[in-house]
Structure 1
Amino acid sequence: MFQIIGIVMLFGMVFGSYLLHGGKMDVIMYTLPYEMMAILGAAVAAFLISNSLPNIKGTLGGLGKAFAGPKWKKTDYKDLLSLLFALTKTMKSKGVIALESHIEKPAESTIFQKYPRIMKDHFAIDFICDTLRMMTMNLEDPHQVEDAMEKQLEKHHHEAAGPPHALQAMADALPALGIVAAVLGVIKTMGSITEPPEVLGGMIGGALVGTFLGVFMAYGLIGPLAARLQAIVDEEAAFYKIIQSVLIAHLHGNAAQISVEIGRGDIPSTAQPSFAEMEEHLSATPVDA
């Protein structure tokens, strides 16, 4: 919502001030299709050249995410902690054998099935199951497990950060591409140097529209969208960091409730449930069905 309001304000303030100052839109509107073809078309072409197919798809999906916001809400964080509570409680009270059926086939697990939104995130499920599987194979050194989890998180975050980096690269290129379009306009103008001043003035004004559009789109639109998308990626990364915190706390011998409380501290403040809320949510979580 705020992104849409910001875009409306962006266009209103910039073009409104231009019109109030006596500017005329006819020069901009006349040259706009050609300048956009040169600037935005070249930016998209450079984007396609410099990115892989998964990154291109991720960027297109990321544009929607920039408006929708992070996918994980407060209830999702509570569900994640409840899931981890049930798994660690089962492992501690009933042993490794009771846990194996859940982590080998999570789609059939009575514990995992209670959290369908988390089940849709394949990385989260694989991250949980792979780590617990290492524990069942007697890898119980918290430092070794933490290092292995950290490497997985770094790889995932690096891949997730590809789309905002691609958008930022496009934003960085737009001012230079605007200059390219402006230079082409100047070349065209110089080819008509014998025209009267009023004609040359219009042609020069049209050429400068290219510079304006490049800077305007870079710092007013694409750059802010890239920053917003990067912030969302960073916030969503906290979801997976919670998994690491809880499971490592469990390896250190803490009770399931304590491990969950340690993980609760990693939840972003805007979505963090209170201690009482989490206690109430955990009281309704069965250990093993």
Structure 2
Amino acid sequence: MFQIIGIVLLFGLVFGSFLMSGGKMDVILHAAPHELMAILGAGVAAFLMANSIGVIKSSLGGFGKCFAGPKWKKQDYKDLLSLLFQLTKTMKSKGVIALESHIEKPGESSIFQKYPKVMKDHFAIDFICDTLRMMTMNLEDPHQIEDAMEKQLEKHHHEAAMAPHALQNLADGLPALGIVAAVLGIIKTMGAITEPPAVLGEMIGSALVGTFLGVFLAYGLVGPFAARLNAIVDEEAAFYKIIQSVLVAHLHGNAAQISVEIGRGDIPSAAQPSFAEMEEALAAAPAD
């Protein structure tokens, strides 16, 4: 919602101020198609050369994320903590043998199936099951497991951050590509130096539209979208950090409810349930 409002304000205030100061849109509208062809064409070409197909797909999908926001909502954090509560409680009360059937085939697990949205996130499920599997193999040093989990989180976050990084690189290059388009326009103008001043003025104005569009697209659209996507990636990373916090707290010998409370502290403030809300969610969690 705010992104749409921002785009409307961007175009309305920038071009509105231009018109209010006596400017005319004729030159911009006449020059924009071929200037945009040069700037965006070069930008897309450079983007394709610089990135893998996976990053390109993630970047394109990232624009939708910028409007939709982080995929994890307050209820999803409750579900994750409820899932971890049931897993750690089962492990503590019934032992690792009771947990093996759940972590070996989470798709068939009576615990995992209660939380379908979490189940759709393959990294989250693999992260939980792989960590619990290490615990069942008698690797019980909390520091070793925490270090192993930290490396997995860093790898996942690095890969997720490649899309906003690629968009930011595109934003950084657009002003220079705008200059390229403007220089081409000046070259064209110099080839017609014998034309009357009125004609030359219009040609120079058209050339400068290239510089304007390059800067406008970089700092008005692509750059802000890259920053927004990066913020979403950072916020979504907290979802996986909670898994680490809860399981490491469990390894330190804490009760399942205490481990969950430690994980609740890692939830972003905007989506963080209160202690009472979490208590209610755990009490309402379906019994295995």
For normalisation by structure 2, the TM-score amounts to 0.99
Unaligned runs of 5+ residues in structure 1 are none
AA paired with 2:180? V
Cα distance between partner residues in 2 of 1:116 and 1:285: 14
Correspondence list, 1:228-239, <5 A: 228-239=228-239
1:212 alignment partner in structure 2: 212
Correspondence list, 1:249-268, <5 A: 249-268=249-268
% same residue: 83
Cα distance between partner residues in 1 of 2:37 and 2:67: 25
Asked if 2 retains the 8 angstrom alpha-carbon contact of 1:245 and 1:262, the reply is yes
3-state DSSP class of the match of 1:184?
A: helix
2:184 alignment partner in structure 1: 184
Asked if 2 retains the 8 angstrom alpha-carbon contact of 1:86 and 1:286, the reply is no
2:148 alignment partner in structure 1: 148
Residue 284 (structure 1) shift? 1.5
Cα distance between partner residues in 2 of 1:119 and 1:85: 16
Moved beyond 2 Å, runs of 4+: none
1:281 alignment partner in structure 2: 281
Correspondence list, 1:81-160, <5 A: 81-160=81-160
3-state DSSP class of the match of 2:138?
A: coil
2:76 alignment partner in structure 1: 76
Residue 286 (structure 1) shift? 4.0
Asked if 2 retains the 8 angstrom alpha-carbon contact of 1:246 and 1:259, the reply is yes
3-state DSSP class of the match of 2:179?
A: helix
User: For this pair of structures, how many residues does the alignment match?
Assistant: 288
1:221 alignment partner in structure 2: 221
**Is residue 56 from structure 1 mapped to residue 56 from structure 2 by the alignment?**
yes
Cα distance between partner residues in 2 of 1:26 and 1:285: 64
1:38 alignment partner in structure 2: 38
1:103-136: CA deviation from partner (whole Å, max 9, x where unpaired): 0000000000000000000000000000000000
Residue 256 (structure 1) shift? 0.1
2:13 alignment partner in structure 1: 13
Cα distance between partner residues in 2 of 1:257 and 1:31: 64
1:1-40: CA deviation from partner (whole Å, max 9, x where unpaired): 0000000000000000000101010100011110000001
Cα distance between partner residues in 2 of 1:264 and 1:57: 32
3-state DSSP class of the match of 2:110?
A: coil
3-state DSSP class of the match of 2:206?
A: helix
Cα distance between partner residues in 2 of 1:165 and 1:285: 39
1:15-66: CA deviation from partner (whole Å, max 9, x where unpaired): 0000010101010001111000000111011000000000000001111001
CA RMSD after TM alignment: 0.5
AA paired with 1:182? A
2:161 alignment partner in structure 1: 161
AA paired with 2:120? K
AA paired with 2:148? A
Unaligned runs of 5+ residues in structure 2 are none
